[in-house]
Each structure stands twice: as C-alpha cells, then as structure tokens.
Amino acid sequence: MNGQTFEIPAEMRVLAEKSVEQARTAVGSFIGTAIKTAEQMQSASHTMQASMQSVVTKGLDQVQENAAATFDFAQKLVRTRDPREAMELHAEFLRSQIAALQAQAKDLGALTQKTLQPAA
C-alpha cells in the first residue's frame, strides 16, 4: 500500500445526502399519514359507538313506553263494568298502540339510518 487514500467525490456525497433527506421526508410523511388515519378511525369508532348507543337507548325508551301503556290499559280493563265497556276500551287501546308503534318504528328507523350513514 502506497499511502493513497480513496476519497468519495463531493458530488456523490451531495447526492447521498439528498437521498437520505428525501427518504427521511418520505418516511416522516408516511408515518404522519398513518397516525392521522389511525386517529380518524378511532374518532369514527367512537362516533359509531355513541350513535349505536343512542339507537339502543331509543329502543329501550320505546319498550318502556309500550309497557307503561299496556299496564295502564290492564288497570283500566279490570275496572270495567261490562263486556261492552271492555271491548270499547280494548279497541281504543289497539288503535292507540298501532299509532304509537308506527310512530316509534318511523323514529327508530330514521335514527338507525342516520347512524349508519357515513360521516360527511
């Protein structure tokens, strides 16, 4: 060995430094996008969970309303004096419950549809 040292040309060092910087920028951008996507997915998950909870709560509220109406009807029914009065009360209860169930189905359907629509 005659003591000569091999030196990397300056142009190659500049090119290598640019390549490392470009790679650093690309990886940083990729990681930033991945973090942002994960945060959005987590937010969407929380939103969906809260929305589904509102559907369940609405359904349980409706069950409670229907049960109360049925017990009110039963209480009135045991106080009737004759079969004619009982039949009139029964017909009135059926009409009111059909109307209530239609309204509840419409409300629950609208809430469910709103819940299942993708966030804009």
* pLDDT tens string 47-105: 888 888 888 899 899 999 999 999 999 999 999 999 999 999 999 999 999 999 999 99
pTM comes to 0.62
SS3 18: helix
pLDDT tier for residue 118 given thresholds of 50, 70 and 90: low
Question: Using CA atoms, how far apart are residues 29 and 84, in angstroms rounded to an integer?
Answer: 79
| Structure-token pair, residue 74 | 């039963």
Task: Work out the average pLDDT over 104-110.
Answer: 92
111 touches 55 (CB < 8 A):
yes
pLDDT the model gives residue 119: 56
* pLDDT tens string 16-53: 899 999 999 999 999 999 999 888 888 888 888 888 88
pLDDT the model gives residue 2: 65
Task: Work out the average pLDDT over 7-22.
Answer: 88
